[in-house]
Structure 1
Amino acid sequence: MAQVTVTIGGRAYRMACDDGQEDHLTRLGTEVDARIDQLRAAFGEIGDQRLSVMAAITLADELSEVRRRLGEAERNASAEREARDEAARQLGRVEASLASTVVSAAERLEQLARELGPSPSGGVGMG
């Protein structure tokens, strides 16, 4: 287990994290610290605890919005997949119908050719 020190609101906090996650935890700490600095600039010195709670709430609000957008994107992607799958099924039906029509036409042409018999010149082409 790795250890990282992050500074938030001018205070250092020693935190444990999984090995390899040190940079990630440091970036998160920097983001929280920046958010607290933004709130402090907007509201002044209203107390560290209140600033921390406000920062947590604004970050949670952003996370909630991202989750909402992700859910919407997933629903849209699912609807697009369903539409694509239905279009593929419809294309398959059209191809099968077309193939059947071509086979029927070929069979009719063969039947007509048999009924007409061989050509008078004995060959197939026109000459």
Structure 2
Amino acid sequence: MGQVKVSINDRSYTIACGDGEEDHVRELAAYVSKHVTDLAEQVGQVGDARLLLMAGLMIADELSSAMQKTKMLEQELENLSSQRGSLMERTRDAENSLADVLDDASRRIEELARRIEAA
């Protein structure tokens, strides 16, 4: 099991993580730290717990928005897939109709050719 030292609001924390996850945990901590720093600049040093809570709520809000957008995009993708299936079916129907018309035209041309040869 790995361990990572991170710094948030000028305080160091040692975080346990899975082996190979150290860089990812550092990136996440840097993201949280940025939010805490921004908040501290806006509201002052109101205590680590409150700053971390506020940063956590801001990050949760970002996550909630991202999840809503993901849900909307998944629905849009499902709608587009459904439309694609419908359009492909219509294309197949049109191709079959065109093939029938061409077969009919070919038969009539052959019939005309036979009549001309017979005449």
Q: TM-score, normalised by structure 1?
A: 0.86
Query: Any stretches of 5+ residues in structure 2 without a counterpart?
Result: none
CA drift at 1:117: 4.5
Q: Which amino acid aligns with 1:53?
A: L
Which of the two has higher C-alpha Rg? 1
* CA deviation map 1:43-97 (0-9, x unaligned): 1122211111100000000010011111111111221121122111111100000
Letter paired with 1:25: V
Q: Secondary structure at the match of 1:69?
A: helix
Matched with 1:118 is: 117
Q: Which runs of 5+ in 1 are unaligned?
A: 121-127
Counting only pairs closer than 5 Å after superposition, residues 87-126 of structure 1 correspond to structure 2 as 87-114=87-114, 116-118=115-117
Distance 2:73 2:106 in 1: 48
2: distance between equivalents of 1:94 and 1:6?
63
Residues 28-54 of structure 1 show CA distances to partners (whole Å, capped at 9, x for unaligned) of 111111111111110112221111110
CA distance in 2, matches of 1:42, 1:74: 36
Alpha-carbon offset, residue 11 of structure 1: 1.7
- 2:84 corresponds to: 84
Partner Cα separation in structure 2 for residue 2 and residue 52 of structure 1:
23
- Secondary structure of 1:19's counterpart equals coil
**What displacement does 1:4 show?**
0.7
5 Å matches for 1:23-102? 23-102=23-102
**Which residue identity does 1:83 align to in structure 2?**
Q
Q: How many residues align?
A: 119
TM-score by length of 2: 0.91
Of Structure 1 and Structure 2, the greater helix share is in 2
Please, what is the CA RMSD of the aligned residues? Answer: 1.5
Alpha-carbon separation, structure 1, partners of 2:31 and 2:97: 60
- Amino acid in structure 2 at the alignment position of 1:91: T
